[in-house]
């Protein structure tokens, strides 16, 4: 597995990568602190015959003031060992100065699916995400890029941007990888103490129950109210629990077309996201 830390190294490593006989190059963008969910993105790319470039960059511009940028877990050596073991071809480890060069003055302004939910709770978050992903696309020039459905809204924001800017990258959405308890894997799960970890599994259980109730014909407002109360009873502070259009993220009061039930809720100081298809 090659490791590149500068644009020159990335260019050389990319050149040397043989995609002969393969479908092309797939990018797996991450912020490190890798877990089995990240590796499932890698495997999704490999199973479609792509050579894989994984990037690790804790992107300061997608964190708001008072968020966990400074304490976000970083463990480059362990991450690289996991990626090598998983058969990753190349790791891209840019520094802040490479991603935001002196005089940097350009951002991707996102609307549409970026406006509500995470976009409302974390102003500027998706601008930071879209900007860094556009830069990664420019640097790596992948044929495809893999994103996790765990961050459902993020996938829709990236799809919108890719289509709007006619970026020649195939966006692959990969199903959420879960622990046996149902808890969606996340780098932030390591903030949970033992007691919170037990409570955290209620998030997926509540979502699944609300999904089943909606599918069985219960009114969306009733299912969401019951789910919100169950989360509060389990110790969560709920930021939102809502039925939305799967692509536009517009709120829905009944199921029309492809719908998604999305939630963000806090356990102590840890914010967890999850979503399910209806
Ligand atoms: P992060 O390092 O948290 O920025 O995540 C990097 C990528 O991995 C994003 O596309 C995430 O949506 C994806 N990801 C994170 N956790 C999971 C999971 N449990 N299952 C699937 N994809 C995930």
Residue whose CA is at the smallest distance from ligand 1 atom 7:
30
**Cα–ligand 1 centroid distance for 218 (angstroms):** 31
Q: Assess whether 61 and 192 both reside in one domain.
A: no
Q: Assess whether 103 and 238 both reside in one domain.
A: no
pLDDT at 19: 77
**Cα–ligand 1 centroid distance for 59 (angstroms):** 14
Encode pLDDT of 63-105 as tens digits: 999 999 999 999 999 999 999 999 999 999 999 999 999 999 9
Q: What is the residue range of 194's domain?
A: 187-277
Is 38 touching ligand 1 by the criterion CB < 6 Å? yes
The closest-lying atom of ligand 1 relative to the alpha carbon of residue 28 is 7
Encode pLDDT of 181-223 as tens digits: 999 999 999 999 999 999 999 999 999 999 999 999 999 999 9
Cβ neighbourhood burial of 59 (10 Å; 0-12, 13-18, 19+): buried
Is 41 touching ligand 1 by the criterion CB < 6 Å? yes
- Tell me the sheet residues that pair with 184: 178
pLDDT at 18: 79
Residue 32 lies in a domain: yes
Residue whose CA is at the smallest distance from ligand 1 atom 12:
148
Residue 6 lies in a domain: yes
**Cα–ligand 1 centroid distance for 86 (angstroms):** 16
Give phi and psi for 114, each to the nearest 5.
-85, -10
pLDDT at 206: 98
Q: 21's torsion region: left (phi>0), alpha (psi -120 to 50) or beta?
A: left
Encode pLDDT of 241-272 as tens digits: 999 999 999 999 999 999 999 999 999 999 99
Tokens representing 105?
A: 């003055």
What rounded mean pLDDT belongs to the chain?
97
Is 148 touching ligand 1 by the criterion CB < 6 Å? yes
Of residues 71, 81, 94, the one with CA closest to residue 5: 94
CA distance 217 to 154: 29
Give phi and psi for 203, each to the nearest 5.
-60, -50
CA distance 131 to 109: 8
CATH number of the domain to which 204 belongs? 3.30.1300.10
């Amino acid at each position: 597995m090659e490791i590149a830390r500068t644009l020159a190294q990335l260019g050389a490593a990319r050149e040397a990568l043989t995609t002969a006989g393969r479908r092309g190059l797939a990018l797996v963008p991450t912020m490190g602190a890798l877990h089995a969910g990240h590796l499932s993105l890698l495997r999704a790319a490999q199973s479609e015959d792509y050579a894989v470039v994984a990037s690790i960059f804790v992107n300061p511009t997608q964190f708001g003031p008072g968020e966990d940028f400074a304490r976000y877990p970083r463990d480059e050596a362990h991450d690289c060992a996991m990626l090598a073991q998983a058969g990753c071809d190349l790791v891209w480890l840019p520094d802040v100065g490479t991603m935001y060069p002196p005089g940097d003055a350009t951002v991707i302004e996102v609307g549409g699916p970026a406006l509500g939910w995470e976009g409302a709770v974390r102003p500027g978050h998706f601008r930071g995400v879209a900007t860094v992903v556009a830069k990664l696309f420019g640097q790596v020039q992948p044929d495809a890029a893999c994103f996790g459905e765990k961050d459902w809204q993020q996938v829709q924001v990236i799809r919108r941007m890719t289509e709007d800017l006619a970026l020649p990258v195939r966006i692959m959405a990969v199903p959420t990888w879960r622990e046996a308890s149902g808890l969606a894997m996340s780098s932030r799960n390591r903030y949970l103490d033992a007691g919170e970890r037990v409570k955290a599994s209620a998030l997926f259980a509540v979502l699944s129950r609300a999904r089943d109730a909606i599918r069985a014909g219960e009114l969306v407002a009733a299912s969401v109210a019951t789910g919100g109360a169950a989360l509060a009873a389990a110790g969560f502070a709920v930021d939102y629990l809502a039925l939305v259009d799967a692509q536009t993220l517009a709120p829905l009061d009944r199921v029309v077309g492809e719908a998604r039930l999305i939630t963000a809720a806090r356990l102590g100081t840890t914010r967890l996201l999850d979503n399910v298809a209806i």
